[in-house]
Structure 1
């Protein structure tokens, strides 16, 4: 899954979760509210994971470039 798709998926979960949370609050359905909070938190976690993956990929790519440059010298 591409970085853009991961970000989209995480934002979708956050938005859907927030909607469920509000629905639960309005209807007094605590289970639905909790489900929404959980989904929203999962979306936030996915977002943080995607950020971490991007950071790690950047560090690995940079290290590869340095190794290649040293071997070319």
Structure 2
């Protein structure tokens, strides 16, 4: 019972998985070069992680989904 998952879905998931792991770390160390305050660096890294997650959710909602079955199709299936 293998499920057919489109390659684009896997590619998006892989991209955002890598992004959520890498972008906050890069943000932390980049900001750390300009300030010694780790609270600011950590806060901006957390903000970067949240931005990546929100972008993933938006992309997931915008993804094409199969058209829902019309009422006629559903009644034909029942009969």
Report the TM-score when normalising by structure 2: 0.46
- Higher RCO, 1 vs 2 (CA within 8 Å, ≥6 residues apart): 1
Report the TM-score when normalising by structure 1: 0.49
Structure number with the higher helix fraction is 1
Find the structure with the greater CA-based Rg: 2
